[in-house]
Structure 1
C-alpha cells in the first residue's frame, strides 16, 4: 500500500519528498465506481499550475482496469502517479459526510 502525506510544506509519496506544496493548487479525494461490479477505488486528484496527476493506492489494479479503455498518458515525473482517466470512466467527488 502506498502512503501520500504532507510534511513541512512538501508532498511525500512513500516517505520520499516529491513536490513542493507551493506548486500544488489542489488535492481532491475522488472515487471511481466501475460500471460492472461493486469495487470502489479511492484516489486523489493532484493539480499544479501546469499538470493534473492521479494518485492510486493500488496502481497495478487500477491499470489493469484501465487497459481496455482510452487513456491519456502523462510524462512519468513520479512513478506512483498514473495516467489520466478519460470520459469512459465516471469520476465523481466524494460526498460530504
Structure 2
C-alpha cells in the first residue's frame, strides 16, 4: 500500500476557488485505478488549512494518477492558490493490519 498525507494552507480570499480545485481532484482521484481512498479534511481550528489523505494499492498506481494529463492540468492552478509551501509525505507501507 502507498499512502500520501499532505497539509495545505490557502490564501483566505482563494478558499472558494481552492475548494473547487479540491473537489475536482477528489472526483478524479476516486475513479483512478488502484485508489483505495482520497480525501481532503478541513482543519476545524484554521479554516483555510486542509489535510490530504490518500491510500493507493501501489506507488505505481499513485504515480500514474499524479503524472496523468488531468492532474498535470489541475496542479498548477491548485498550487497557485497556496499560502506557503505544501507539506506532503509519502509512505510505502509493507505491512498492513487492522484492529
Q: By the TM > 0.5 criterion, same fold? A: no
TM-score bracket relative to the smaller structure = 0.3 to 0.5
TM-score, normalised by the number of residues in structure 1: 0.34
More strand by share: 1
Pick 1 or 2: higher relative contact order, CA cutoff 8 A, min separation 6: 2
